[in-house]
Every structure is written in structure tokens, then in C-alpha cells.
């Protein structure tokens, strides 16, 4: 159930775009923020307010990796393991996250602190390995600094 303030926010978003489908991405983001992930209730809310079928909203959202398609931890680690990052040690970083936090790819720590998502290049090949934690960018990762960085996220 959305608050009146959030319903108003979604209606205002709708007014900024030429049609309801064009407003889907920000509306889905707001629903995710409110529900914590893109639950069936989140899609229902977007569909009701924008008048767009849930299947259309879901079809749009599932194209994007940074929406939460299942319940996730408080901090989402998007770690790149593509070629440049792999050559510079990203696979070892995956092992370190497992050793330190018990964190496997596509899993969440039991305390809900971290979820790990493996990415296929985040555009930082020149300063690889790289990751995003939530929306914060971190590059030149090493076996030492990745833990220092993650320890600042509670
Ligand atoms: S390969 Fe990792 S950022 Fe491009």
C-alpha cells in the first residue's frame, strides 16, 4: 500500500512525460524504493496509477539489471568479472567476498547486509577491476581495498 505522498509523486511523474509508458522507468524506480524490490504489489501500484498493464511494466523493468527483481540486501555489490576485470583479478575478488562474507554470486548474506551481482562490464575497463556498491563507483580494486571499501557499508 502506497502513501498518499507517494501516489502524488507517481502522478506528478506521469505528468512530466508525453504518455504513461514513457513514465514507466521513473515510476518503477519509485515503486521499487517503496516496496524494497519489484514485487507483484510494486507492479500493481505502477499499473494502477499509470494505467499501463503489469505485463508491460514488467517487460520494461526486466530489461534493466539495476532494478531489483527479487528481495535483496541493503547494499548491492555489482562486481564486474568481464575480460579486463578478470585479467586483473576479479575472480579472486569473488573468492574473497565468499571467504569474508559467505557471499556467493546472486546471493544475499544471511544478515541482509550485502547482495552480490556479477556484471558484464561497467565501463571502467581502463581502471579495472571495478564495482558499484549501490550507486557508488569503485575502481582499481585489490584484494585488500575491496574489504576496506565494503566495511564502510553497514
Ligand atoms: S571489463 Fe570490467 S569494467 Fe569493463
Q: For 41-65, how does the pLDDT look when each residue is reduced to its tens digit (9 = 90+)?
A: 999 999 999 999 999 999 999 999 8
Identify which of 65, 77, 82, 126 to mutate to test ligand 1's pocket (most ligand atoms within 8 A of the CB).
Answer: 82
Superfamily of domain 75-151: Glutaredoxin (3.40.30.10)
- Per-residue pLDDT, averaged over 97-102, amounts to 96
14 closest CA partner among 5, 27, 29: 27
- Dist. CA 135 → ligand 1 center (Å): 16
For the CA of 122, the nearest atom of ligand 1 = 3
Helix, strand, or coil (residue 85): helix
Break the chain into its structural domains and give their ranges. Answer: 4-61, 75-151
Per-residue confidence band for 66, with pLDDT thresholds at 50, 70 and 90: confident
Identify which of 84, 87, 139 to mutate to test ligand 1's pocket (most ligand atoms within 8 A of the CB).
Answer: 84
Could you give the angle at the alpha carbon of 151 between the alpha carbons of 97 and 91, nearest 5°?
20
pLDDT at residue 120 in the model: 92
> Cα separation of 10 and 47, whole Å?
11
For the CA of 121, the nearest atom of ligand 1 = 4
Question: In whole angstroms, what separates CA 8 from the centre of its chain?
Answer: 24
User: What pTM value is reported for the model?
Assistant: 0.80
- Per-residue pLDDT, averaged over 22-26, amounts to 97
- Tens of pLDDT, residues 112-153: 999 999 999 999 999 999 999 999 999 999 999 999 999 999
For the CA of 82, the nearest atom of ligand 1 = 1
- Dist. CA 147 → ligand 1 center (Å): 19
Place of cell 569503485: 138
Question: In whole angstroms, what separates CA 10 from the centre of its chain?
Answer: 20
75: cell is 547494499
Residues with CB under 6 A from ligand 1: 80, 82-85, 121-125, 128, 130
Place of cell 523493468: 61
Amino acid at each position: 500500500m502506497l502513501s498518499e505522498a507517494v501516489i502524488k509523486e507517481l502522478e506528478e511523474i506521469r505528468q512530466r512525460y508525453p504518455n504513461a509508458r514513457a513514465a514507466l522507468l521513473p515510476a518503477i524506480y519509485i515503486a521499487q524504493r517503496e516496496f524494497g524490490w519489484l514485487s507483484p504489489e510494486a507492479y500493481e501500484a505502477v499499473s494502477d496509477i499509470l494505467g499501463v498493464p503489469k505485463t508491460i511494466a514488467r517487460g520494461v523493468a526486466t530489461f534493466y539489471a539495476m532494478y531489483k527483481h527479487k528481495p535483496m540486501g541493503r547494499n548491492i555489490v555489482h562486481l564486474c568479472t568481464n575480460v579486463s576485470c578478470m585479467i586483473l583479478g576479479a575472480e579472486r575478488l569473488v573468492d574473497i567476498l565468499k571467504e569474508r562474507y559467505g557471499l556467493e554470486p546472486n546471493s544475499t548474506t544471511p544478515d541482509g547486509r550485502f547482495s552480490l551481482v556479477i556484471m558484464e562490464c561497467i565501463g571502467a575497463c581502463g581502471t579495472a577491476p571495478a564495482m558499484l556498491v549501490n550507486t557508488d563507483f569503485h575502481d582499481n580494486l585489490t584484494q585488500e581495498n575491496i574489504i576496506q571499501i565494503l566495511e564502510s557499508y553497514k
